[in-house]
Structure 1
Amino acid sequence: MQAAYIEQYGKEDNLTLGRQPIPEILDNQVLIKVHASAVNPVDWMVRNGVFKEHNVHTLPLILGWDAAGEIAQIGSAVTHFALGQAVYAYTSIVKQGAYAQYIAVDADLVASKPRTLNFEQSAAVPLAATTAWQALTKAGELNAGDKILIHNASGGVGMFAVQIAKALGAYVIGTASKASEPFVQSLGVDEFIDYQQHDFTEKVSELDFVLVAVGGDNIVERSLNVVKKEGYLISLLDKISDSLAKSHQVNYHRLWVTPDRDDLNAIAKLIDSGDVKVIIDSSYPLSDIKLAHQRSQSKRAKGKIVVRIPHDK
């Protein structure tokens, strides 16, 4: 099969487009014929070697852990899928990825794709939307009427977090650059803060929830000052000490997202009901995977970056 993979860690020039064997599935797995994948920051972090010292991966490594496609083969212990069924998945990051024509995935991580989306749109959803969903409903508990601040509301996770928070009935404040304001406003925020011009700690206070979907600038620690007692502070990147959070009487959690079919089913319902829309920043053929990585690394994308996987007709 055709795939994009690395044989050594490093820059995007290390991405190779070539042939890899079609994976064999286990009894509890399905083989997905991949029509589209997506580029997330974790893809190029892995490519750069973020887990190199932990021996998590085996080279050559196919990158990309968002997949949308059709069921091509079903393991003997799997009973809830049919051949040709349209599905999507956030797949295990410790295994081979979805920049390939086929991927083997544990069946309990796979869900029917949103019926209102095509394969490219569906591929843009799993990892980012699951991260947002787990941050708002599992790591923290966002309720109707709560006030939430979402840092980096224009990013892949932030885009979904704004919309999910609105669907849950929250009052949403989003931060981003001035250039991203129209995009963030289109997501439905109630208030917008240009982080380049304004210090958010001078704009908001006594919040029920803060989601920090960006790193640097001591933003997690500074966010402690705007969360009310017993409120939630969830970070996706940087960490603070639990003792510091406790001293502010704030429920703090550093979230590590995990693949979950039930979460994908819940997200699909929000999409199909019209509560959550999927915005595509750009779409690349697999042959331009290096350009797709460059776009992601630029941090200028508004919406998701997707990769189209070719198949012979």
Structure 2
Amino acid sequence: MVDQDKAAKIRAGQGFIAALDQSGGSTPKALRLYGVAEDRYGSEEEMFDLIHAMRARIVRAPVFSGDKVIGAILFEQTMDRDFEGQPSAKFLWSERGVVPFLKIDKGLQETRQGVKLMKPIPDLDATLSRARDHGVFGTKERSVIDAADADGIEAIVAQQFDVGRQVLSHDMVPILEPEVTISIADKLAAESLLRDSILRHLDTLPEGQDIMLKLTLPEEAGFYAPLVDHPRVMRVVALSGGYSRDEANARLARNRGVIASFSRALTEGLSDAQDDETFNRELGRTINAIRDASVAG
């Protein structure tokens, strides 16, 4: 059975979900934005040590707590490491009141029919069992939509739900993330195809099989209201998708029932060179602004 205390926090929490799940491909950019140049590390192991140090600094900040940050998405290596001497997922829940999730996708396939499907996820059942043992509540899986192609979008949604059902079989809650690229000319048309496809697939889920959705902030305010209100949707969260933090927050505030799950926008303005007082103050401003935008609707 899904952990009911964590489910209650996700359903009713007045906050947002932090995305701390940069993988190998996105970590160098995240470190550069944090002020850590590539000449600071000479191996992948050193790179991951540095990004873990950044994440540890974020989660131990006083403002990073469950009254504003209701969940956090972890990279698999982060799940296998510690925060403050405790396994990371355990620390988040027991010390911060933050529900832990795990990123499970292994990257994207080449573009076909205007979309990038997920690559196969090897040994997923074993990973899910291990994550549940760590106290992880749910998962996140990302694919990308680059054009308003009906067949491509249907393929992406079908794949997302197939993997989601595998997650549900382990008594965990999947966050399905079919991201629409913000720069495409037919973004609104793609969003319309995506919404309708998701609604059709949601209607195939039996009672008790609830999922979450992570979606690009839409062109029209309230566009995803039918998904927010669907009985099989535990929560709809939004990715920042390349928008600045101010733009992302402004768009988010116009969408009732949608909360943030930002990555780059969460760490915007943070630097390895900042002392703890400056770092915590900047992070506090960021968390407060994202939280306010998340509950504005």
Q: Normalising by the residue count of structure 1, what TM-score does the alignment of the two structures yield?
A: 0.24
Give 1 or 2: higher strand fraction.
1
Q: Normalising by the residue count of structure 2, what TM-score does the alignment of the two structures yield?
A: 0.25
**Whose radius of gyration is greater, 1 or 2?**
1
